[in-house]
Amino acid sequence: MKNEKIWYELDAFAKTYSSIISEGRTTCFRLSALFTENIDIKILKEVSNFLEKKYPFYNSELKKGIFWNYLQQKKTHFMIRKEVTYPCTDIRKDNPLRIIYFNNKISIEIAHFLTDGKGALLFFQDLIEKYLEEKYFCEKINFQKIEEILESSGETEKIKKNEYVDLYEKYLKKVSKETTIKSAFHLPIKILEKGQYHVTTGEISINDLKAESKKYGTTIGKYLLAVYFKILLDRYSQAKNPIVIGVPVDLRKIFEETTYRNFFINITPSVDASLGAYSLSEIITYLDNYFALKITKKEFYKSIYKAMNPIGNMIIKSVPYLIKRLFFPFIFDYYGERGYTTGFSNLGIFKVDKKYEKFLKGLRFLPPPSKRCKIKMGIISDNQKIYVNFGNLTANYDIERDFFIYLRKRGIKSKIITNYS
């Protein structure tokens, strides 16, 4: 049985993501944690070996099938390497999850055909806690007893039960398709040469944002989304098509499910600049009403049905993968990114055991680059700060500048970090 090949069928979204990968659309996103001390490579490798036993699904490589791609469990370890280039610009199908280190930072870059932001966050939390436990709190883990440790805790059985389930299939119902905007406004900015992805991060006090959001009776997440809409509307007031922001919603809470695979849906709040100027209050009121309407099980049944429609089409199903690979980028563009101006992804609070908090200096979350949505925003927070991260495929950083200036004028200061040269 040692030579037995373990393989996994891709979930519905993964079938699409694995078929559209290119240099300008890697589908790869990144999570990072910064520490008070430089990384101990030996401990990082030991913890990585531990986790590949616990999460065998993530230690897979993408293989071409006759009709669809599939994942096959690797015989090698997770790739661990020092950071040498721009983030999220090189996705390797034989290593769709990479662990990257540089000085005092650990990052993971993970392909969207493996999991979504929440699934990656669960893995990353485990990685960070076990690294810190091994470094500061315990003697060396006995890796010869890994399987016994996992089995006795019941974690292996729990993970195996959930990680293979395609929850899109489970909740697919034949209902009326969701209606979305087919063609959004796209930023009129030239993208850089391939392989360049600029990052700007603003570190902001949670208390400052909480106080400002409270004035408008809304959440911090919706307040930041409203500010993003506001600066886009002010800068592109002559836009002929609606400004649409794709917002991923984690469906695990909605459907009370646990999975380490993809289980999210993008909702698409939009504002039409041709109707005139909008105040921040108007945008927040719109978002409050939009979220209340859209974030329900019934609405998500419609979203799932629409998302599954291309995958479930009998003609598409029967076409060999080599042909699918030619036209799937166009399908993804037509059904997806053509309808977005940009993306806004909020992972929420990164929680670790309290004893580990003093060793962490900061966090980063970078969404996947995309030629259509040239600039995207990713948000993650700890107990003290919110980290607003812009990923940008252009050399123009006016939007990032406008965003942080807007906050500063309202008394919300940001510490800015960027990889622009």
Q: Which DSSP string do the residues of 220-246 spell out, in sequence order?
A: HHHHHHHHHHHHHHHHTTT-SSPEEEE
pLDDT beyond 80 at 91: no
- Give yes or no: residues 33 and 137 share one domain: yes
Q: Where are the alpha helices (DSSP H) in 89-200?
A: 117-132, 146-153, 155-163, 167-170
Neighbours of 192 (CB within 10 A): 16
- What contacts 302, CB < 8 A, 6 or more positions away? 175, 176, 177, 178
Question: 134-177 pLDDT, tens per residue?
Answer: 999 976 666 556 556 555 655 555 555 556 678 888 888 888 76
- Give yes or no: residues 161 and 206 share one domain: no
Average of per-residue pLDDT values in the chain: 88
Which of the two residues, 342 and 163, has the higher pLDDT score? 342
Considering only 17-21, 40-44, 101-105, 119-123, which range has the smallest mean pLDDT? 17-21
- Give the H/E segment covering residue 112: none
Instruction: Find the domain containing 312 and state its range.
Output: 198-418
Confidence of residue 1 (pLDDT cuts 50, 70, 90): very low
Residue 273 lies in a domain: yes
Domain boundary among 170, 187, 221: 170
Which of the two residues, 20 and 143, has the higher pLDDT score? 20
- Give yes or no: residues 159 and 212 share one domain: no
What pLDDT sits at residue 140?
Answer: 64
Question: 276-312 pLDDT, tens per residue?
Answer: 999 999 999 999 999 999 999 999 999 888 888 777 6
Place of tokens 């794709």: 246
- Give yes or no: residues 135 and 257 share one domain: no
Question: 302-341 pLDDT, tens per residue?
Answer: 988 888 877 767 777 778 877 777 777 776 776 677 889 9
Which of the two residues, 128 and 328, has the higher pLDDT score? 128
Confidence of residue 51 (pLDDT cuts 50, 70, 90): very high
Q: How many domains does the chain have?
A: 2
- Range 343-353 average pLDDT: 96
Residue 135 lies in a domain: yes
- Give yes or no: residues 21 and 156 share one domain: yes
- Range 201-214 average pLDDT: 97
Residue 244 lies in a domain: yes
What pLDDT sits at residue 7?
Answer: 86
- Give yes or no: residues 155 and 63 share one domain: yes
Which of the two residues, 161 and 120, has the higher pLDDT score? 120
- 50-to-44, 176, 228 alpha-carbon distances in Å: 10, 45, 40
- Give yes or no: residues 285 and 375 share one domain: yes
Residue 191 lies in a domain: no
Nearest to 26 by CA among 304, 420, 376: 376
The CATH number assigned to the domain holding 132 equals: 3.30.559.10
Question: 357-402 pLDDT, tens per residue?
Answer: 999 999 999 999 888 899 999 999 999 999 999 999 999 999 999 9
Q: What angle do CA 99, 383, 139 make, to 5 degrees?
A: 50
